[in-house]
A and B are shown apart, each in its own frame.
Chain A
Amino acid sequence: MSTALAPTALDIEGLAPQSVSLWQVAARRLLKRKSAILGMVLLGILVFIALTAQWVAPYSPTLSMLDVNPPQALGKRTPPCIHALGCPADQPEHILGTDGNIRDEFSRVLYGARLSLLVGLSTVSFAIVIGTILGALGGYFGGWIDNVIMRVMDVLLAFPSLLLAIAIVTVLGPGLINALLAIGIVSIPAYARVMRASVLSLREMDYVSATRALGGSNLQILFKRILPNALTPLIVQGTLGIATAILDAAALSFLGLGAQPPTPEWGAMLGAERNQVFTAPHLVFFPGFMIMVTVLSFNLIGDGLRDALDPRLAHVS
């Protein structure tokens, strides 16, 4: 008997369609896009740099070469010196040269990765949490709550984002944390709008009515039934938002309103040396190049995610 049953069970198992979750489909489609893979590789490298900066960097990012033991007799803003590429061996090696305070530019660039990634993640997390709550409340309850929230968002959107961030920093005072807060506030409307649109379309769905009929509370419906299904546009918007946040934070620091010296922040490093672009172009080139690579990686991943998570393209997989 048992020998007769076993193959049948196997057959059923073999015939049943393999269950694939939405996330698995999305991951597969994401991995098919070369640009998204490039973005992930770049981001991987940046995360690696950020995590290992303290071991890879030859010097502390805030240490002047006059204070190392033994002191290095270097002028300000020396050009890159790499021994393997023919730089005389009697000169101390500085792969990317030194900056205006005779600090090792390479070490500062490495540590900068840590800051930029943190900046991107923290501002967007802040904006997503606040934006999601506001958008969900507005979309779910409608009426005057919705009206008040969305009009406030409209006002925030009426200012060019960088100018609004500058204005907020004016009130709060310059500094990295205040700059992050400003960028966070400025990015809230995008998430609130995305969330509201999703909630508006989802709250009329049958399964939501079913939950309500079964006695589900508003909070339960909102957080357990609607939110999980509204996540995909938020993920896409969030990834692309990290790119913008990093760019804006760098811009504020460039203007001297964000990270303050001697913090190794790419925008601030670039801003401090911008008048030396003709005499020491390496001090402008490398920090800016790193900003570009970081922003590019998030943009590529965000674009890839948008296509991968779009259910209208599901058949393409």
Chain B
Amino acid sequence: MTTYIIRRVLLSLPVLFGVLFATFALGRLIPGDPCHAILGEKATKVVCDEFIKRHGLDKPIPTQFAVYVNEVVHGDFGRSFRFSKPVTDLMVERLPITIELSFAALIISIIVGIPLGVISAVRHNSWLDVFTMLWANTGISMPVFWLGLMLAYVFALALKDTPLALPPSGRLSPGLITVPFWEIWGLQLHEGGFFYGLADFIGRLNILNAILSGNWPVLGDAVKHLILPAFALSTIPMALIARMSRSAMLEVLGQDYIRTARAKGLQRFAVVMKHAFRNALLPLVTVIGLSLGGLLGGAVLTETVFNLSGVGRILYEAITARDYGIVQGFTVVIAIFFVILNLIVDISYAYLDPRIRLD
């Protein structure tokens, strides 16, 4: 297993390098000179000269690339001219919103998608199966932004003043404030330090922060605000997971050892869960891993619809405002995150299936 992990990590290094090169190229391919592209149209000659010197833009391209890689490795993702702060600070502010949303969507899609798929497979060709698959096909065909707007219409307007009403935008109701858990715990943290950044980051995950600080009204309100966007975002992965778990289960359930298990008198439920499901998990890991990329893309759209100022929103606004520092910084972080994620998927795949790591 260790050799397998080492091999996989080494194999993903060239991809990481390529990702860095691609984002580096992105910064250089932008129309106009990089200084005005990154610092804004109004940057003066003096500011530009300083900028060019600091980032080595007057040096040959390979040197520039080396400077860029060095900056990224040291956690310097550039600055945003619109916010006049480092992109890293913006990440600490915006990432938690997207992570919360994507994570909630992923959990919904797994806890709904897998049982639906498994039941469809066990009750193959029943009305439930037909209905689930019809729904799954519709689910993967729905534009997430359309579904989000329709959900907002139904739950915020049509069902207004009923117990089912849900807020269509934002993360918390006006008037509610969330206090970072570490302030409630009385932790003394140095502003600017690593632990401060980490605590700040966790404190911005509203739901986790509310649980950590025991603030139940805020927790309830945060969950309420998260339901609609998370549900809208979860549809496509949910449908994919349901379809995949159905076909994987169907394949496994048709095999001889399942019949043997039933023949030796095991309960149907035990056979489905212990013998079949474990083996059907394998393709599911891939689908779930791949869904995460889609989730990040979908988050851009969901955040726009539900007025959440997460990564998607800031990226979109940065593009329209031509704030390339943000575009470059966030793109490289997301891509690196995605490469690491794929690595984790591959490793868990090997953990679940000994044939892969022993190959």
Contact = CB atoms under 8 A, between A and B. Distances in A.
Q: Do A and B come from one complex?
A: yes
Interface of A: 35, 151-152, 154-155, 158-163, 166-167, 169-171, 173, 243, 247, 250-251, 254-257, 267, 270-271, 274, 277-278, 281, 284-285, 287-289, 291-293, 295-296, 299-300, 303
Contact of B320 (A256, A284, A288, A292): A256
Nearest to B243: A303
Given A160-B297, A256-B320, A284-B149, 4 more contacts: A158-B15, A162-B300, A169-B319, A300-B137
A93 to B, nearest CB: 25
B153 A255 contact: no
B91 to A, nearest CB: 15
Interface of B: 14-15, 18-19, 21-22, 26, 29-31, 133-134, 137-138, 140-147, 149-150, 152-153, 156-157, 293-294, 296-298, 300-301, 304-305, 315-316, 319-320, 324, 327, 331, 334-335, 338-339, 342
Contact of B14 (A151, A289, A292): A151
Contacts of A243: 141
27 contacts: A154-B15, A155-B19, A158-B15, A159-B22, A159-B293, A163-B300, A166-B300, A166-B319, A170-B324, A170-B327, A247-B141, A251-B301, A254-B145, A255-B304, A270-B146, A271-B145, A274-B304, A277-B152, A278-B152, A278-B156, A281-B153, A284-B146, A285-B150, A288-B143, A288-B146, A295-B141, A296-B141
B338 A296 contact: no
A163 B150 contact: no
B112 to A, nearest CB: 20
Which 4 A-B pairs rank lowest in CB-CB distance, beginning with the nearest? Answer: A288-B146, A162-B297, A155-B18, A296-B141
A278 B153 contact: yes
A171 B304 contact: no
Contacts of A270: 143, 145-146, 149
B29 A166 contact: no
B150 A292 contact: no
A304 B316 CA distance: 37
Nearest to B133: A35
A139 to B, nearest CB: 19
Contact of B335 (A159, A281, A287): A159
A169 B322 CA distance: 12
Contacts of B134: 35
B143 A255 contact: no
Contact of A277 (B153, B304, B335): B153
Contacts of B294: 160-162
A305 to B, nearest CB: 14
B338 A292 contact: no
A288 B153 CA distance: 14
Q: Give the residue among A167, A247, A255, A295 with the most B Cβ atoms within 10 A.
A: A167
Contacts of B157: 278
A138 to B, nearest CB: 15
B68 to A, nearest CB: 16
Contacts of A293: 141
Nearest to A288: B146
A288 to B, nearest CB: 3
B293 A160 contact: yes
Given A154-B18, A162-B300, A170-B327, A255 B142 contact: no
Contacts of B327: 167, 170
A299 B316 contact: no
Contacts of A162: 294, 296-298, 300-301
Given A162-B300, A163-B315, A292 B143 contact: yes
A161 B291 CA distance: 11
Contacts of A159: 19, 22, 293, 331, 334-335, 338
B18 A163 contact: no
Nearest to B319: A170
A167 B315 CA distance: 9
B137 A299 contact: yes
A161 B141 contact: no
A303 B244 CA distance: 13
Contacts of B156: 278
A299 B320 contact: no
Contact of B143 (A173, A257, A291): A291
A101 to B, nearest CB: 19
Nearest to A247: B143
A173 B142 CA distance: 27
Contacts of A291: 143, 146
Contacts of A171: 26, 29-31
Contacts of B150: 281, 284-285, 288
B144 to A, nearest CB: 8
Contacts of A300: 137
A151 B134 CA distance: 37
Contacts of A287: 146
Nearest to B336: A158
A151 to B, nearest CB: 6
Contacts of B305: 274
A303 B141 CA distance: 13
Contacts of A292: 138, 141-143, 146
A296 B20 CA distance: 36
Contacts of B293: 159-161
